[in-house]
Amino acid sequence: MTNVEQAVQYAHDHQKDFMQEYQELLRIPSVSTLPEHKPDMRRAAEWIAERFRRLDFDPVEIMPTGGHPIVYGERLNAGPGAPTVLLYGHYDVQPVDPIEEWDSPPFEPEVRGENLYARGASDMKGQLIAVLKALESIAKTSELALNFKAMIEGEEEVGSANLEAFIAGHKDLLRCDLSLNADTSILAADTPALTYALRGLAYFEIRLHGPEGDLHSGTYGGIVDNPATALCRVIAGMHDAEGRVTLPGFYDNVRPISPAERAELAKLPQTDAWWAGKANVAFLRAGEPGYTATERATARPTLDVNGLLSGFTGVGSKTVLPARAMGKVSMRLVPDQVPVDVARSLSEYLEATLPKTIRWEVEELSHSYPAMLSLDSDAARAAGEALEEVWGVAPLFKREGGSVPIVGLIKEMIGVPTLMVGFGLPDDNLHAPNEKQHLPTHFRGIETFIRLLAKLGAGK
Amino acid sequence: MTNVEQAVQYAHDHQKDFMQEYQELLRIPSVSTLPEHKPDMRRAAEWIAERFRRLDFDPVEIMPTGGHPIVYGERLNAGPGAPTVLLYGHYDVQPVDPIEEWDSPPFEPEVRGENLYARGASDMKGQLIAVLKALESIAKTSELALNFKAMIEGEEEVGSANLEAFIAGHKDLLRCDLSLNADTSILAADTPALTYALRGLAYFEIRLHGPEGDLHSGTYGGIVDNPATALCRVIAGMHDAEGRVTLPGFYDNVRPISPAERAELAKLPQTDAWWAGKANVAFLRAGEPGYTATERATARPTLDVNGLLSGFTGVGSKTVLPARAMGKVSMRLVPDQVPVDVARSLSEYLEATLPKTIRWEVEELSHSYPAMLSLDSDAARAAGEALEEVWGVAPLFKREGGSVPIVGLIKEMIGVPTLMVGFGLPDDNLHAPNEKQHLPTHFRGIETFIRLLAKLGAGK
């Protein structure tokens, strides 16, 4: 029996013990947003830290932040020649409201059928347990062939406000070759999938100023420029007739989708009708010519208006020529676009487009870097093989249209890609009543992590 | 001494009596918006009715509406061959807040210098008194050579909600050859002016619907049409690059500004710099080529955005692809544009422009007809002569960019133009603390009305 098979056997033999610990963690109501749960947050952090200690991580520290602490631990026994993986995770969970819609108490885990019900069962205590138990299975039967670091935060469900500063302050500590993010899911219990790319984000608020105060549109309509009209004009001008973004240089650094990738993306069960059904719309929009809906939604950059506000918006009519107009506009970015370039391009566009009658300012409200793990990389290959070995079918490779800020941060600040492997399912009721984890998928997940970590170690 | 000079002499001799009655009316706190003043509203209506009775109007009635009553009176002694003038006015006033900023109690009229201070002194009890006293001066000295009707409402300061229904229900009663509206002002104490045209209004709310609910802009950006972007596109498309409105047929019924009118408008002290100063902006907008700022602001139709609302408008960023977007858009109309044509044109434009991914609806929130008294009309000539005889200088003839709904209503429902002659001044503090009427202007106003009514009668 190989080392890997021994570890898999260990995991199989200890399922009952694993479930005990899984449920122990779920019983800690670590709701980060509610002040009354602060002691529970501490307990959860300590519980996690203790698990790393039992796996010979040294040091393991509960490190303070401006909010809830971050658990950091490392196990560098594989030596400087071996690759180092940084696990990202979070030990906090969402609130449980509306509590009356739960069929069993959210912090008293209950198995019904093939599922384990509890707040955090899927997001993401179940995924943390899966990684911890994979590490344990390897450690108890052979030796971990790679160096492992773990950074488990307590504020993911409240926006990770202190994470960026933490990473910035501990770049050396967190140095690694690859990041592993288990806070994710597969497409269905019988459909393994690997998300290998995320879009980034550049989010702006554009504020246009016309007259000093609101004016009467009867008196001044026709001679005083209207910032609401001006806002509509600049926003309308951000796309051409076919849906391409017109900001200067917007596509300059966009990495083309390779033929191999297009072939992979084409395997996804995501037709136009599938997307329309998921969005609950009758028709998809006309988009960039030459790209499928999946490519446009995940692998091409886009620009959307997220908010508009100007003038009188109450019931009825008020004949105001508004003093101000505000638009929130955000772009989804793909490799190798950089948020700061987009910000510069937007400013250039506004400067070139707006008349002298309109004063403007633009503020970047948030950004995150696009991230992509090359399909040709060892890590992507290892994950693909591990999934196929456990599920018996090749995984689908997909990109996500949204951003996972931590993945962008790690790319931007530590300079490494992230491998996103986790075993939630789309129907796990994340952030909702009756959150659950599908247990057969969970145990396949533990086996997958065992095989994946072995492959990553072997690739040194 | 001619009849007119006798009437003018009478007015001169009775200034003290006139002031007594003026102040008596001002002491009635007829604030239409405050329920506790309902008895005062009744008192004011009765006071006005009694004055018409004393002038041999018969009948004089206080007619109920859904809100405050309307005083109607008529004096048709001049016979069927004589012209009939319908006076419009209102006996209600604005509230007095902030009361602490008044230098004397708002309902205890006080003369300081050349001004009489009280709520309603200018808007418009002073103007009502001026017409009443002109009628009295004529009646006491000779005979009124025209038929006179009066419709004095009690809800002008709260939007005249019941006036349209009242006019619709009494079209025969209100039939006339000319309407006289004294609820207006001149440019300065030494600058008589006559407003001979007002713009109309067509005010719409456009509501665009995209997906059923707000979507995540990361997941659906690029494939689901964004109603906020669509709204910006349709609004941007409503003007061409030079500022002309592009709605189909928008200019079809626009009456050109005649050379004579242009010459009159050019006499106004309204340069581009004057308009910019009045609006407190550094630059006027580029507008329709070939028209002065005064022409664009008052004699040409325009389109303005009055409000925009979509998606997330709070502080910070929310990556929402909004389900809905709302825009309030209004057009200022000039003769002979008709609101219903503009509504049809807007719908045609939206239908032709919006993609099938966007469901739309448009609601007309309000409209008023443009109105114009031809400069060639007997009424305009009579008013111009009367003003010149009293002031010693020819009046300026001007158009207003705004709308006075009652003027539009009378044009639309009774089919007659309105002569707007009143003697407020721009610094009268209408709707504000320390409202006042300039008394020398008030007495010149009485004389002007005497001469004007005589000329209108003579023109039969």
DSSP at A17: H
> Residue A47 corresponds to which amino acid?
W
Same domain assignment for residues B90 and B160 = yes
The rounded mean pLDDT for chain B is 95
- What are the chain A neighbours of B368 within 8 Å (beta carbons)? none
Render pLDDT for B252-262 as a digit per residue (tens, 0 to 9).
999 999 999 99
Residue A274 contacts B, CB cutoff 8 Å: no
**Can you tell me the distance from the alpha carbon of A102 to that of A121, in angstroms, rounded to the nearest whole number?**
14
Same domain, A127 and A189: yes
- The CA distances from residue A26 to A44, A91, A160, A184, in Å, are 9, 10, 21, 18
| C-alpha A18, offset from chain centre | 27
Residue A287 domain flag: no
Dihedral sign from CA coordinates of B169, B172, B174, B175? positive
Tell me the C-alpha distance between A155 and A41, whole Å: 10
Residues of chain B with Cβ-Cβ distance to A316 below 8 Å are 365-366
Angle between helices B3-13 and B439-458 (to 10 degrees): 160
pLDDT digits (tens, 9 = 90+) for B73-82: 999 999 999 9
Query: What's the DSSP call for residue A432?
Result: S
Q: Is the Cβ–Cβ distance between A281 and B358 less than 8 Å? A: no
Greater model confidence, B286 or B367: B367
Tokens matching residue B32? 């239409």
Domain boundary among A368, A385, A409: A368
- Is the residue at A278 inside a domain? no
Show which of A347, A368, A389 is a domain's final residue: A368
Give residue A345's pLDDT: 98
Which amino acid appears at position B34 of this protein? L
Q: Could you report the predicted ipTM of this complex, rounded to two decimals?
A: 0.88
Report the distance separating Cα A398 and Cα A274, nearest Å. Answer: 15
The answer for A280, left when phi > 0, alpha when psi is -120 to 50, beta otherwise, is: left
Quickly state the pLDDT bin for A1 (edges 50, 70, 90).
confident
Tell me whether B426 touches chain A (CB under 8 Å).
no
Longest dimension (CA), chain B: 88
Q: Is the dihedral of CA B155, B159, B162, B163 positive or negative?
A: positive
Element holding B151 (H helix, E strand):
strand B147-153
Residue B224 maps to a domain: yes
Report the distance separating Cα B79 and Cα B233, nearest Å. 59
Is the Cβ of B53 closer than 8 Å to some Cβ of chain A?
no
- The answer to whether residues A178 and A244 belong to one domain is no
Give how far Cα A236 sits from Cα of A232, A247, A353, A371, B235, Å: 6, 11, 11, 29, 9
* pLDDT more than 90, % of chain B: 91
Rounded to an integer, the average pLDDT of A129-141 is 97
Q: What's the CA gap between A234 and B236, in Å, rounded?
A: 8
> Judging by beta carbons within 10 Å of its beta carbon (0-12, 13-18, 19+), is residue A158 exposed, middle or buried?
middle
Question: Is residue A406 domain-resident?
Answer: yes
The reported pLDDT for the residue numbered B90 is 97
pLDDT of amino acid B59: 97
Instruction: Name chain B contacts of A310, Cβ cutoff 8 Å.
Output: 305, 307-308
Same domain, B71 and B109: yes
Residues A186 and A231 grouped into a single domain: no
CA nearest neighbour of B105 among B434, B429, B430, B431: B434
Q: Cβ B228–A307 below 8 Å, yes or no? A: yes
Mean pLDDT, chain A, rounded, equals 95
How many Å apart are CA A33 and CA B272, to the nearest integer? 57
Averaged pLDDT, B186-211 = 94
Residues of A in contact with B235 (CB under 8 A): 228-229, 232, 236
Has residue B273 been placed in a domain?
A: no
Residue A42 predicted with pLDDT over 80: yes
Cis bond upstream, residue B98 (ω within 30): yes
Candidates B274, B157, B104; CA nearest to A219 is B274
**What are the pLDDT digits (tens) for A432-459?**
999 999 999 999 999 999 999 999 998 6
Length of chain B: 460
Is A447 in the same domain as A383? yes
In sequence order, what are the residues at sequence separation of 6 or more whose Cβ sits closer than 8 angstroms to the Cβ of residue A136? A10, A54, A55
- State pTM to two decimals: 0.88
Find all residues with CB under 8 Å of A135, minimum gap 6, and list them.
Answer: A55, A144, A148, A449, A453
Residues B95 and B123 in one domain: yes
- B402·A307 Cβ contact <8 A: no
Query: Shortest CB distance from A279 goes to which of B211, B309, B319?
Result: B211
Phi, psi of A33 (to 5 degrees): -80, -15
Mean pLDDT value across residues B144-153: 96
Name the residue among B350, B320, B146 with its Cα closest to residue B224.
Answer: B320
A23 in the same domain as A129: yes
Chain B residue with minimal CA distance to A317? B365
Mark whether A192 and A224 lie in a shared domain: no
Q: Is residue B296 a part of any domain in this protein?
A: no
Reduced to 3 states (helix: H, G, I; strand: E, B; else coil), residue A77 is coil
Question: Same domain for B89 and B204?
Answer: no
Residue A259 is encoded by which pair of tokens? 């033929």
Q: pLDDT value at position A405?
A: 87
Q: Is residue A159's pLDDT more than 90? A: no
* CA gap B171, B167 in Å, rounded: 6
pLDDT band at B459 (very low <50, low <70, confident <90, very high): low
Considering the domain boundaries, does residue B282 fall inside one?
no
DSSP strand E in A27-126: where? Answer: 60-63, 70-75, 84-90, 110-112, 115-117
pLDDT of residue B460: 40
Structurally, chain B folds into a number of domains equal to: 2
Burial class (CB in 10 A: 0-12, 13-18, 19+), A242: exposed
Which of A368, A395, A418 lies at the terminal end of a domain, its last residue? A368
State the average pLDDT over residues A19-40.
Answer: 97
Q: Are residues A132 and A240 in the same domain?
A: no
- The enclosing domain of A81 has a CATH number of 3.40.630.10
Cβ-defined contact of A309 to B304 (cutoff 8 Å) = no
Report residue A233: phi and psi, to 5°: -65, -45
In this complex, which of B218, B228, B402 lies closest to A305 when CB atoms are compared? Answer: B228
As a whole number of angstroms, the distance between CA A216 and CA A219 comes to 5
Residue whose structure tokens are 């006491």: B140
Assign residue A351 the CATH number of its domain.
3.30.70.360
On the question of pLDDT at A460 being above 50, the answer is no
CA distance A157 to chain B (A): 15
Helices (DSSP H) in A267-338: which residue ranges? 272-279, 293-298
- A376 with A350, same domain: the answer is no
Tell if the CB–CB gap between B224 and A366 is shorter than 8 Å.
no
Task: Using the CB atoms, write b or e for B6-19: b if 16+ within 10 Å.
Answer: bbbebbeebeeebb
State the residue range of the domain holding B374.
3-198+370-458
Q: What are phi and psi of B280, to 5 degrees?
A: 60, 50
8 A C-beta contact, residue A76 and residue A147:
yes
Residue B292 falls inside a structural domain: no
